[in-house]
Amino acid sequence: GAVVSQHPSWVICKSGTSVKIECRSLDFQATTMFWYRQFPKQSLMLMATSNEGSKATYEQGVEKDKFLINHASLTLSTLTVTSAHPEDSSFYICSARPPEYGTGRNEQFFGPGTRLTVL
Amino acid sequence: LAKTTQPISMDSYEGQEVNITCSHNNIATNDYITWYQQFPSQGPRFIIQGYKTKVTNEVASLFIPADRKSSTLSLPRVSLSDTAVYYCLVAANQAGTALIFGKGTTLSVSS
């Protein structure tokens, strides 16, 4: 199957600093990628849809100025957590879907996730 | 978006068959039913997808009744490594459609 990678796999930062997380589709091009956040013992929460060459679409309640998303190429989307605070500590996961799958296969591929800890 | 309801947790023993049922009363005509598996500190992994009747792959089977208001994921002869959270999702089969996750079912397999 298709592979989605994330970097870094974990990061620890000080409060007030910014952290960038990369999401890459390794063997396919993705015009759309998705960013999720997951707190311990909870389900995944969709944060935003990343669109190549255009602005991201954010879910209600997600601050677009705090969670900056850039989808500069067909294989890379980045999520930057600006002025991070301890409450931003979470597991961040991205996903993408090969466009050639068409309408007969509703499968998305998820990255391994990035564990962010803000001190 | 159709809401899904599934048991919070289930327990099983190695070698048993496990059936996890998901309710989706408001499923739309063009929605597919998809199941994902997630291990701790990992991204979810696709298990199986279906629209109606029965679908089987090398990992699981998915049973969908004619009214499509529910579905059952069947895991044959589970092992300890099947301990994970299982999510039932209902989504339109369109490219670029975000997946909305419910609470999932935590399956614990014991020896």
Instruction: Determine whether B92 is exposed, middle or buried from the number of CB atoms within 10 Å of its CB (0-12, 13-18, 19+).
Output: middle
* DSSP sequence for B52-88: SEEEE-SS-EEEE-TT-SEEEEEESS--GGG-EEEEE
Average pLDDT over residues A13-21: 97
Q: Is there a contact between B49 and A91 if contact means CB atoms under 8 Å apart?
A: no
Q: What is the pLDDT of residues A32-47, one digit of tens each?
A: 899 999 999 999 999 9
Q: Which residues of A touch B (CB under 8 A)?
A: 1, 4, 31-32, 34, 36, 43-46, 49, 91, 93, 95, 97, 99, 101-113, 115
> What does the buried/exposed string (b/e) look like for A85-112 if buried means 16 or more CB atoms within 10 Å of the residue's CB?
eeebbbbbbbbbbbeebeeeebbbbbbb
**Helices (runs of H) and strands (runs of E) counted in chain A:** 0, 11
Choose among A34, A43, A49: nearest Cβ to B104.
A43
Amino acid in the structure at residue B81: S
User: Do residues B15 and B99 make contact, with C-beta atoms less than 8 angstroms apart?
Assistant: no
**Residue among A32, A93, A102 minimizing CB distance to B96:** A32
pLDDT at residue A14 in the model: 97
Q: Span B87-99, mean pLDDT? A: 77
Check residue B16 and report its DSSP letter: -
Query: A interface mutation test: which of B41, B86, B106 has the most A CBs within 10 A?
Result: B41
State how beta strands B9-13 and B105-110 pair.
parallel
B58-76 pLDDT per residue, tens: 999 999 999 999 999 999 9
User: Tokens 């009214």 correspond to what residue?
Assistant: B67
Residues of B with Cβ-Cβ distance to A112 under 8 angstroms: 42-43
Of all residues in chain B, the one with the smallest CA distance to A104 is B93
Mutate which: B9, B37, B90, B93, vs A, most A CBs within 10 A: B93
Q: Reply yes or no on whether the pLDDT at B93 is more than 70.
A: no
Residue A78, token pair as written in the block: 């980045």
Q: What is the average pLDDT across A6-16?
A: 97
For residues A115 and B41, the answer to whether their CB atoms sit within 8 Å is yes
Tokens found for residue A98: 């090969």
> Does B97 touch chain A if contact means CB atoms closer than 8 Å?
yes
